[in-house]
Chains A and B, each alone.
Chain A
Amino acid sequence: MSLDPVKAFLVLFVAVLVQVSVLSAYTPFGGSANVVLVTLLSIALLRGSIFGAAAGFGAGLLLDVAYLETLGFTSLLLTIAGFWIGRYGETTARDRFHTPYTSVAVVTVLYAFGTLALRFFLGESAPAQLVVAALPGDLLLNLLLTLPVYALVRRLFPPAVSSDRVREVRLLG
């Protein structure tokens, strides 16, 4: 039985603790780093869409409980983010160098506007000015986090090797 779900839970649990206890207190460059999002996207890239969606749901629920926010709010956003980037990894570009950076950059922007839209639908205050002003800082910090986080996650979740790949050549005749 694969240990991937247990490893993913532990990694995301630590990421949530780091996020709520450390990173959320600092806003360098006017933005704030989101280590949970970067970790989730790294896991989703390496383990696919279904795994990414489940990991996103769990991580979102943990964040909602830690912040005592509306339950399901972050879960919804992270489930979609995990699924989408997992699908991107499965179909397009898992092994390319730029993949984690592209994924993090795109999802950081979409996550910020997704949060804004969801708050708007729930009838809560959602000033777009705040999101736009902080977005460059958010992007920079998340991209800086991507290098170490993706490297660490890649060690914990090594890409699966295809079992049907030809390992040796036998000469006939």
Chain B
Amino acid sequence: MGILVLASLVLITVSFRSDALDPAEGVAATVLRPFEVAAERVSRPFRDAVGWTRDLVNAKSENEELRRQVKSLRRQVILNESAQQDVAHLQALLKFRDLPQFQKDYREVSARVLTNPANRFEQRVTISAGSNDGIAEQDVVVTGDGLVGQVTKAYPSVAVVTLVTDDDSAVRAVDLTSQGAVGILESGSGSGTLVLERVTKDRDVQRGDVIITAGSSGHGALPSLFPRNIPIGTVTSWGQTDTDLFKRIQVQPFVDLSSLQSVLVLVPKHPRPEVP
């Protein structure tokens, strides 16, 4: 018993203070990966059944809501396409030098989610792709619905992704409707919720507004790791008091981060600028 406790303490100390055990952990994770993939495949029908049942309960009310959204979005698409053509034309005229664009300047690496968050303190998942697939630390991770997080550790065949709901995560984000409402998106107090901080009180933010990544404000020394225009979520509520300097905006992410099954890692096509 004493020896095992001592061994645990030594492992904690070495693992916590240095990267000396990372290669060994990477090898062990690689060995474990096929078993995790197999377990995930075996359990998928059951997970799908649970998801199907849950969706069935909400289907009727969701259907009406979606029909209304489709009508509204159809009109919006036409307006957007027209606006996009104008923007492209104007940018060409101005020889506008843009920042890296979401999707266009990134290669997507799809990966399976091997493990969900280990505990309620850390919002991190492991995925079945790593540095062998070109993934590096700080790469942005998304799904078809929106932002998931970023890679915080890359082993040869697996990688650790820190979700946007983790305490250590911070993303520069903007309200799509009110473009001046730029703030920092951080973990909220509720499970799986986010808070958009540092949005000044004079900005008009409404419930239902869509929040997207803001990218960088210019070619500065410390550009944002997250490219602009990745959908994040919708505003569920906001508040401010006379003494507060900023609004406090609650955001519900588009992605269900509690049951991720697969993700896309955005690997930059061009090398990132060196951080001084």
Contacts and interface: CB of A to CB of B under 8 A. Distances in A.
Interface residues of A, number: 45
B8 A68 contact: no
A53 B1 contact: yes
A137 to B, nearest CB: 11
Given A25-B47, A125-B121, A17 B39 contact: yes
B1 A125 contact: no
Interface residues of B, number: 45
Q: Secondary structure at chain A's binding surface: helix, strand, loop or mixed?
A: helix
B12 A70 contact: yes
Contacts, number: 119
Nearest to B35: A17
Interface stretch (B152-160, B171-179, B246-254): B152-160
B25 to A, nearest CB: 6
Contacts of A124: 121
Nearest to A69: B118
B121 A119 contact: yes
Interface in B108-140: 114-122, 124, 126
B36 interface: yes
Contacts of A71: 11-12, 14-15, 21, 25
A72 B1 contact: no
A68 B160 contact: yes
Contacts of B5: 76, 79-80
A66 B158 CA distance: 10
A53 B155 CA distance: 30
Contact of B116 (A24, A80, A115): A24
